[in-house]
Amino acid sequence: MEIAKIGAGANGGSNRLTLTDADRDARELFRSWAAAAGCSVKIDAVGNMFARRPGRDNTLPPVVIGSHLDTQPTGGRFDGVLGVLAGLEVVRSLNDQNVETLRPIEVANWTNEEGARFSPGMLGSAAFAGVYSQNFVHSRTDESGKIFGEELQRIGFAGDVRIGGRPLRAYFELHIEQGPVLEAEHFDIGVVTHAQGLLWLDIDIVGFEAHAGTTPMKRRRDALVAAASIVAAVSDIAVSFSPNGVGTVGQLRVHPGSRNVVPGAVSMTVEFRHPSEGTLTDMMARLQAAIDQISTQCRVTTRCTEVLRYAPVEFDRECVDIIRAAAERFGYSHRDIVSGAAHDACYIARIAPTGMIFCPCVDGISHNEREDIRPEWATAGANVLLDAVLGMAEV
Ligand SMILES: [Zn+2]
């Protein structure tokens, strides 16, 4: 609730876009809390933060807990924040009980998980996993042309620690489900076994600008009419692969955007998600066929560019088992679940044994200021997290 006051939204949520003043203030608060819990805090060259609680043998790779403090522009109070602060709560609980672990434990705040200001999302965790170079991350720009590297400097979080390149014993992330399944089925804990694959496309449609009063309908090359058909095609394709397949057009830019001009150009985004890589490819192929047909009909030219594709993730068997056993031991009801959203854990899974814990959220609402959870759900998630971390920190 304290973090949510930083960049508080009008409707009870938060607006802490990456590398804004609000993001800086949340980072500072997390740093001060971590220091008060006896952690040393290090920051790497893309702004990832690591709060470290020493173990008995500090030469051993740490167990890392993490998530993100940045939010969507009309984001909720728990997406990401829960995972970071539950990590801090694990550290505080170990302090309270005077528990010393063999391995050090670190709590990570990954930079730019949301991808709302700088694209793509999960830049910090991806860079840590060696997917993107420091230069690639630093050169990202936001809509107003501001540069990631300069904004990172501006808020004082361009750290001197080299990005990644070190082994982790295990990585755990507690996150709200961001979907309705756990609450609807009355489960306390989701044991995340897989994460959906994702495909992002940019579509640029070029027609011809014309006078809206004098140009007969049959002579028009209206880019927005073509775009409307493509939006419908994306939805139809996703429906035909449901329930696992989903598809969304989230952005549409119409040029020149004048009431009495036939739109000459439209650029739009498309995303598809599915837990099978092969099906994602099928969805893409069907969209391309639809685009070809629509473009001919509307006499427009359409270019479709793949911006991001990432493969479905299978989480580490040992980490998944340890999470399931922890839920069992506490007597929490639990089920295995596939993550519909991408998370930092999906990238860290490439370089370290990784597990994810879901807790329910009210009505499955997320990426919305109304996002909410019950305290007992957070407690159950944090207890399972603590148990899983302790299990890995002693071996
Ligand atoms: Zn998140």
Query: What is the phi/psi pair of residue 202, to 5°?
Result: -110, 130
d(CA 156, CA 142): 18
What pLDDT, on the 0 to 100 scale, is given for residue 244? 83
Ligand 1 centre to CA of 357 (Å) is: 12
Ligand 1 centre to CA of 80 (Å) is: 4
Helix axes 277-298, 223-240, angle to 10 degrees: 150
Ligand 1 centre to CA of 195 (Å) is: 13
Ligand 1 centre to CA of 344 (Å) is: 8
Ligand 1 centre to CA of 243 (Å) is: 22
Ligand 1 centre to CA of 157 (Å) is: 20
User: Which residues are 310's β-sheet partners?
Assistant: 198
DSSP string covering 283-300? HHHHHHHHHHHHHHHHT-
What pLDDT, on the 0 to 100 scale, is given for residue 209? 97
Ligand 1 centre to CA of 47 (Å) is: 17
Ligand 1 centre to CA of 13 (Å) is: 14
User: Buried (b) or exposed (e) across 57-70, using 16+ Cβ within 10 A?
Assistant: eeeeebbbbbbbbb
Ligand 1 centre to CA of 145 (Å) is: 25
What pLDDT, on the 0 to 100 scale, is given for residue 93? 98
Least Cα distance to 73 among 39, 114, 36 occurs for 114
Ligand 1 centre to CA of 220 (Å) is: 43
What pLDDT, on the 0 to 100 scale, is given for residue 243? 82
Ligand 1 centre to CA of 4 (Å) is: 14
Query: pLDDT of the chain along its 395 residues, tens only?
Result: 999 999 999 999 999 999 999 999 999 999 999 999 999 999 999 999 999 999 999 999 999 999 999 999 999 999 999 999 999 999 999 999 999 999 999 999 999 999 999 999 999 999 999 999 999 999 999 999 999 999 999 999 999 999 999 999 999 999 999 999 999 999 999 999 999 999 999 999 999 999 999 999 999 999 999 999 999 999 999 999 988 899 999 999 999 999 999 999 999 999 999 988 999 999 999 999 999 999 999 999 999 999 988 889 999 999 999 999 999 999 999 999 999 888 999 999 999 999 999 999 999 999 999 999 999 999 999 999 999 999 999 98
Ligand 1 centre to CA of 218 (Å) is: 47
Ligand 1 centre to CA of 245 (Å) is: 20
Ligand 1 centre to CA of 383 (Å) is: 19
What pLDDT, on the 0 to 100 scale, is given for residue 266? 98
Ligand 1 centre to CA of 292 (Å) is: 35
Ligand 1 centre to CA of 308 (Å) is: 18
What pLDDT, on the 0 to 100 scale, is given for residue 310? 84
Cβ contacts of residue 155 below 8 Å, gap of 6+? 19, 20, 21, 23, 24, 27
Ligand 1 centre to CA of 175 (Å) is: 7
List CB-based neighbours of ion ligand 1 within 5 Å: 79-80
Q: Which tokens sit at 136?
A: 């690639």
Ligand 1 centre to CA of 294 (Å) is: 36
Ligand 1 centre to CA of 347 (Å) is: 13
Ligand 1 centre to CA of 242 (Å) is: 23
Other Cβ atoms closer than 10 A to 325: 15
What pLDDT, on the 0 to 100 scale, is given for residue 208? 98
Ligand 1 centre to CA of 359 (Å) is: 12
Other Cβ atoms closer than 10 A to 41: 19
d(CA 395, CA 393): 6
End-to-end CA distance of the chain: 35
Ligand 1 centre to CA of 113 (Å) is: 7
Ligand 1 centre to CA of 138 (Å) is: 21
